[in-house]
Structure 1
Amino acid sequence: MQTIADNHINYLRELEALTLEFGISEFIPHWQKDTALHKFIRYVADIMLEDGNSGKYKISFGDDPVHPKWTIPLEAALVTYGIQDEVEWEIPKVPPIETTRDGITYVNDAPELRDACYEYFQWMRLTQAYGDLLHRISDEVFFVMFTNRVVLQNLHKYLSFSVTESSMDYVEAEHPELVKFYTKSGRMRRTTIPMWARRAIFFRDRGLCTECKKDISGLLNPFSKENYDHIVPLAEGGLNDVTNLQLLCEGCNNEKSARLEPTSNRYQRWF
Structure 2
Amino acid sequence: MLHDFILDYIVGYIEFELNDAVGNDDCGREIIEWCQEYSIELMTVEQYNESAGIADDAEDGPDMFEYNFTYLREVAIQELAPQIQIEVFNLLYADRCFLIEFNKLIANDIKDMMKEDYPFLLKRDGVVNRATYWPAWLKRALFCREKGLCAICKTDLSSLHHTTGKTAIDHMVPLNLGGVNDATNLQLLCEPCNLSKLGDEIVTTNLHPTFW
TM-score (norm 1): 0.62
| Shift in alpha-carbon separation, 1:80–1:251, aligned structure 2, 3 A | same
Residue 190, structure 1, aligned to residue 130, structure 2: yes
Q: How far off is 1:55 after superposition?
A: 4.6
1:152 pairs with 2:117: no
Q: After superposing the two structures, state which structure 1 stretch, 47-56 or 207-216, moved more.
A: 47-56
Residue in 1 aligned with 2:53? none
SS in 1 for 2:128: coil
Confirm or deny: 8 A CA contact 1:83 1:129 kept in the other structure: no
Counterpart in the other structure of 1:237? 178
- State the 1:233 CA deviation: 1.1
| Aligned residue in 2 for 1:8 | none
Mapping for residues 31-180 of structure 1, pairs under 5 Å: 36-55=1-20, 69-72=25-28, 73-88=30-45, 116=65, 120-121=68-69, 123=70, 127=74, 130-171=77-118, 179-180=119-120
8 Å contact from structure 1 (residues 79, 87) kept in 2: no
Alpha-carbon distance, 1:186 to partner: 4.1
Partner residue in 2 for 1:32 = none
Shift of 1:79: 4.1
1:127/1:52 Cα in 2 relative to 1: closer, same or farther (>3 Å)? closer
Distance in 2 between residues matched to 1:43 and 1:161, nearest whole Å: 20
Partner of 1:252: 193
**Preserved CA contact (<8 Å) 1:229 1:247:** yes
CA distance in 2, matches of 1:230, 1:124: 43
Task: Look up the SS of the partner of 1:180 in the other structure.
Answer: coil
| Alignment partners' CA distance in 1, 2:41 and 2:77 | 10
The code of the aligned residue for 2:120 comes to K
Instruction: Tell me the alpha carbon deviations over residues 209-268 of structure 1, each in whole angstroms, 9 at most, x when there is no partner.
Output: 111111121113212201111111112111111111111111111111312324212122
Deviates more, 1:40-49 or 1:209-218: 40-49
**Contact 1:225-1:250 at 8 Å conserved across structures:** yes
| RMSD, aligned CA | 3.4
Shift of 1:128: 6.6
Question: Residue deviations 1:89-145, cap 9 Å, x none?
Answer: 79x9xx9xxxxxxxxxxxxxxxxx9xx59x954x56984751332211110111211
Contact 2:111 2:125 (C-alpha < 8 Å) held by counterparts: no
Where 1:199 maps in the other structure, the secondary structure is helix
What is the rounded CA distance, in whole Å, between the counterparts of 2:169 and 2:152 in structure 1?
A: 12
> How many angstroms apart in 2 are the aligned matches of 1:180 and 1:126?
38
Aligned residues: 198
Give the TM-score, by structure 2 length. 0.77
Instruction: Give structure 2 stretches of 5+ with no counterpart.
Output: 50-56
Could you tell me which amino acid in structure 1 is paired with residue 18 of structure 2? N
